[in-house]
Structure 1
């Protein structure tokens, strides 16, 4: 799975065939199995995901 400049292998995924499965304005979800591999910072107006050092 690749998001921006970060990438992880062997991430469990689920694919929905229904465009409205998560709601009309949501493209997808990133879960803890993916995000725990990176340094993630959530702010009021932006979020960052970077490779752990």
Structure 2
């Protein structure tokens, strides 16, 4: 068979990525660095990604 490419909705299929943690972990400086690095890396390396 054949595979057909079809958009889902006007903007295509979208998704959102959220990060959650405990309050104790959220207070750690390394967690803010981790989230910042993940946002930057995703934006630079994943096509179609936009920051919320």
Q: TM-score range by the shorter chain?
A: under 0.3
Bigger share in helix = 2
TM-score, normalised relative to structure 2: 0.26
TM normalised by structure 1 equals 0.26
Higher RCO (CA 8 Å, separation ≥ 6 residues): 1
Compare CA radii of gyration and give the structure with the larger one: 2
